[in-house]
Amino acid sequence: MASSPPPFCEKAMTRNRALRRTLVLLGMATLPLIVPVGAQQFSDRAKKIGFQLKCMCGSCSMTAAGCSHPGGEFSGPCPTAKGMLQEADQHVAKGETDEQIVQAFAQEFGTTVYAEPPKSGFSLVAWAMPTVYLVLGALVVIFVISRWVKKNASETTASAVAAPPIAPELLERARKLAERATED
């Protein structure tokens, strides 16, 4: 004959079932907060263009496609970056080239919208200066080292040359002065 569990066990099992149901319902309720339903999907081409443009929200310096806006929404780009990507998608739908789309953003926001400076005009300075600084630094190092080598070489040759001999009369006079000084 099977015995039934004691009454306190039945109550514990009922409480566990209720707790499990509550946790499952709570998990299902918070799931939309973690995974946004119907999140905007942008075309690959719009994302590619977004990586060439800086997010113009003013609080980050990330690209529009790479914006994660720390402190903002849970995941994904900030509203400004989303708007920029959506606008890029609209330009793509019109059949514009990537260059035309980037130029449209440059006209709207100015040259600060570029994630990296363009390789033309005055912006070439930003690309050329690191190379110029590297070459100038190398030349300064070579110049300083060559001066040190020449200075050491001249000191070595100067010390290698024998000192001129001292006349015997001067040596005798110095000995007599030293004897008088020590007698006193």
What is the structure's pLDDT at 75?
59
For residue range 96-141, what is the model confidence (pLDDT) as tens digits? 888 899 889 889 888 888 888 777 777 788 778 899 999 999 999 9
Question: Tens digit of pLDDT for each residue in 50-102?
Answer: 888 888 887 777 888 888 765 555 556 788 888 888 999 898 888 888 889 98
Predicted confidence (pLDDT) per residue in 144-162, tens digit? 999 998 888 777 766 666 6
Angstrom distance (rounded) from CA 119 to CA 117: 6
In terms of pTM, does the model score above 0.75? no
pLDDT band at 37 (very low <50, low <70, confident <90, very high): very low
SS3 annotation, 62-115:
CECCCCCCCCCCCCCCCHHHHHHHHHHHHHHHHCCCHHHHHHHHHHHHCHHHEC
More confident residue, 90 or 39: 90
First to last CA, the chain: 133
Residues 6+ apart with CB under 8 A from 62: 54, 55, 68, 69, 81
Asked if pLDDT for residue 35 goes beyond 60, the answer is: no
What's the pLDDT at 140?
96
